[in-house]
A = this chain, B = another copy of it.
Amino acid sequence: MNNSITNVRNYNAAFIKVITMEKGSVVKIDYEMWVEGSEKLFDTTKEDAARNAGIHNPQIPYAPLTTIIGDGRLIKGFDSHLLAAEIGKDYEVAISAKDAYGAHDPSKVQTIPLIQFKKQNVKPHVDMQVNLGQTQGRISRITDSRAFVDCNHPLAGKSLRYRYTVVGEAKDPCKKAGWIMKANYPREVEFESEIDGKSVTIKVPEPCKYDVQMWPLAKYRAVGDLRNFGGFENVFFVEEYIMPQQPEKEVVAEGKKED
């Protein structure tokens, strides 16, 4: 797997100034991701690609990932590669486990006697999710008497391969504010914003008004990001409850006789 980004930069360095990302760039990225050694697509932002690979999940809103570069919210290897990316170019990058989800830690594999499952009337199988009190894992192997439950990240110890394109960057402060919101909220909504000096007012989208699961934390984190990466000081969230307009009553026909 060649690291095409490095090639491009070396080639151009002496001739033209390559405009690339910087820490805090707010971007949208389309990507496909494979585990090295497997030809099967593991994850993607593209609906068609997911469908073609037979991994399409109707629960997932397929759309470019809105994120902030260099902030540690992506795996290290992908994040640092993005810092040197140009908008609209296709890249392919191999990332070692160390720069992805870390090495596989054998001490995080526990063995559970099969009798434990039987007591709870559960039939264990490989890949089954198991709750072990404080932690969760998946069954990686079953012997005659025991199940091995692996509590590592499913991608721990794996080298990954990304094919990606930065499809857009938000430069305009208003757009940037909206995208920073999006980078913090996993559902597919658009955020409208208005700017007045160092203050930004975000209109709270309809689904967020009633979302007590993800919205409170997203809102909290977004304030920090709007300050750190958007250059704003004050943040206002506005929830609007506008009275629905009544349909106008029919005009009574003129000259109608009174009873």
Q: Which of B210, B233, B243 lies in contact with A216, CB distance below 8 A?
A: B210
A116 within 8 A of partner (CB): no
Chain copies in the assembled complex? 2
- Residues of chain B lying within 8 A (CB to CB) of residue A212: 212, 216
- Residues of chain B lying within 8 A (CB to CB) of residue A243: 198, 227, 233-234
A71 within 8 A of partner (CB): no
Nearest neighbor of A237 in chain B, beta-carbon distance:
B239
CA of A258 to CA of B239 in the docked complex: distance in angstroms? Answer: 54
A interface SS class: mixed
- Residues of chain B lying within 8 A (CB to CB) of residue A210: 216, 220
Q: Which of B219, B220, B234, B241 lies in contact with A240, CB distance below 8 A?
A: B234
Within residues 213 to 244 of chain A, which ones have a CB less than 8 A from any CB in chain B? 216, 219-220, 223, 227, 233-243
CA of A242 to CA of B237 in the docked complex: distance in angstroms? Answer: 11
A residues with a Cβ closer than 8 A to B are 198, 210, 212, 216, 219-220, 223, 227, 233-243
